[in-house]
Structure 1
Amino acid sequence: MRETTADGTIALNTAQEDSDLYLRRIPWWYWAVFFGVMATAIYLLGPVLTPFLISFGLAYLLHPFVDRLEQWRVSRTFGVSLVFALSILVLALAILLLIPSLQVQISRLETLLPKANIWLQQDVLPWISARIGMDVTRLDAGRVTQLLQENFPQAGSVATNVVSYVTSSGMKLAATLANLFLVPIVTFYMMRDWHEMLESVGNLVPRPLLPAFTDLAHEADE
């Protein structure tokens, strides 16, 4: 669609209108095939793509801090290094603070199990029996409590179980170590070259779709 100005010249519609018109002309089955292929590729390449997706998410969350440091005339490489180091420090402190708290909560829950068993047998089961007309007080709640108490100590050593499981397989250990090294490296370079990376992605988008793609990206970012 074209518009004629007052002086008789023909003006084209805005880029956004052209983009919307271009999108309407694409058949629905094209999008179905496209998203189907993308979903299949992501599913099949999941183990390979996972560290890169994690790195992208971390870079997306942290790059605003790097941009702020860059506005303060700090070099981008140094800013990335500083933000990256502080992020690792905060994560390590969070883990160190979380593990003891989790162990305390598990211990408290274990001590509450006998009281919960008494409440279950004296209050809950009789109430259920009265409502459904069936005697459920014969449920061996004590046995259930015993099983939970026997297994709660294992819950406190989840980290040990995870490490044992990972180290039981050489391939899994190698993949885990590779990801541990790969994610920080990829995250570092994504943070450093964030704007160049977005520009490169934008160059891959067809020109008629670029305005719509840019608007969607801005809305998602907000």
Structure 2
Amino acid sequence: MSSYRWPLALAVVVALGALLYLLQPILSPFVLGALIAYLGDPLVDRLEDKGVGRTLGVAIVFLLFSAIVAVALVFALPMLLVQLDALIGKIPQIYNWFIGEAVPWLQQRLDLPARKLPPVDWTGQLADNWQSVGRFTAQSLKKITGSGASMLLGLANLALVPVVAFYLMRDWNRLMKKALALFPLAWQETTVELASEADEVVGAFLRGQFLVMCALGVIYATGLWLVGLQLAMLLGVIAGLASIVPYLGFMVGIVASFIAAYAQFQDWTVLLWVGLVFAIGQAVESMLLTPVLVGDRIGLHPVAVIFALMAGGQIAGFVGVVLALPVAAVIMVFLRHAMYHYRSSDLYGGD
């Protein structure tokens, strides 16, 4: 029967992949709930080691996560909407600066033919599309509430996330033991080793990189606020989110901040202060945040991160994006062991 293990395991993996693909439209609350449970399980384990009951520990961690989300929604979200509204209002000013100063300067320095970009009636464009975040939000709510079934389905999916997260967090260790018991006895020891290494890699990324992203967002937003940028929080959030790919947050954030700073102040010296903010953030990330919170355990090249995110989105939409990096990290662990066995084999080193 041992000769049938690998074909059977491969068939199970293919069947699970096909099932996930077919069920993708309904998986969002379960994937998000599992992600929250995975992030919270180490905290619950620590509370349990200190004598707190499992259910009570889950309730404490769950309330902590809920408080963080509530604070973000109450304080950060309105500020982000206001700054996004201000950004939309600055689009005409930024475009006029681009065609009036940036393009002629580039044409002169690069000896390009002097061709002008067409002027755009931004007043009409913005009025026809979304003149403000308030109007855009109202239109979106109107579309959502226009279909009672769609609204109820969205609310049901949203309500399922905390329910799934609570029960998975409470029963996480027991579910992992039951999942391990499904493997053949001859594979269980190796499975535990591979799962532990994969858990270390995925945990380093999901927990460590998430904390790095949040810390960078706070650093950039605070620094740009001290410089005086009106869009400081919005730019900090964008740069922090883009930091999921190494160095991408720095590049996206500093370019966007340069444009916003010059459009607001019309003074080149302000760009020096903006550059200083991002230089400090990059130094803190490379010397403190990444070594302490993430380390070198991920092993994913930045190009692999970009490819995984794009491939996950193409295959399974939002669910694919959420699962892309954990799955890529696990695949890297298995490929690392496969390469080790390959280089130790006669196929690689024999005559």
Structure 2 CA distance for aligned equivalents of residues 40 and 132 of structure 1 = 55
CA displacement at 1:154 relative to structure 2: 3.9
Work out which of the residue numbers 139, 143, 151 in structure 2 matches 1:165. Answer: 143
- What's the RMSD between the two structures over aligned residues? 3.0
Q: 1:155 to 1:105 in 2, by over 3 A?
A: same
1:126-150 alpha-carbon deviations (Å, 9 max, x no partner):
356665855531x32332x335543
- Which has the larger displacement, 154-163 or 60-69? 154-163
SS at match of 1:126: helix
2:129 matched to 1:146?
no
Work out which of the residue numbers 66, 69, 72 in structure 2 matches 1:94. Answer: 72
Structure 1 CA distance for aligned equivalents of residues 27 and 124 of structure 2 = 40
CA displacement at 1:189 relative to structure 2: 1.3
1:155-203 alpha-carbon deviations (Å, 9 max, x no partner):
3555444433332222222222222332222211111111111111111
Q: What is the TM-score when the length of structure 2 is the normalising length?
A: 0.49
Q: What is the TM-score when the length of structure 1 is the normalising length?
A: 0.73
Amino acid at match of 2:57: G
1:4-51 alpha-carbon deviations (Å, 9 max, x no partner):
xxxxxxxxxxxxxxxxxx79x846x973x5544332211111123332
Q: Which residue of 1 aligns with 2:223?
A: none
Q: Which residue of 1 aligns with 2:184?
A: 206
2:83 matched to 1:121?
no
Superposition pairs of residues 3-152 of structure 1, within 5 angstroms: 26=6, 31=10, 34-127=12-105, 134=113, 136-137=115-116, 139-143=117-121, 145-147=122-124, 149-150=126-127, 151-152=129-130
Amino acid at match of 2:197: E
How many residues are treated as equivalent by the alignment? 196
2:170 matched to 1:195?
no
Larger Rg: 1
SS at match of 1:95: helix
1:60-83 alpha-carbon deviations (Å, 9 max, x no partner):
101111111112211111111121
For the 8 Å contact 1:106–1:156, the answer to whether it is kept is no
Structure 2 CA distance for aligned equivalents of residues 65 and 148 of structure 1 = 50
Tell me which of the two structures has the higher relative contact order, counting C-alpha pairs closer than 8 angstroms and 6 or more residues apart. Answer: 1
CA displacement at 1:111 relative to structure 2: 4.4
Q: 1:94 to 1:148 in 2, by over 3 A?
A: farther
* Identical columns (%): 33
Q: 1:172 to 1:184 in 2, by over 3 A?
A: same
For the 8 Å contact 1:80–1:192, the answer to whether it is kept is yes
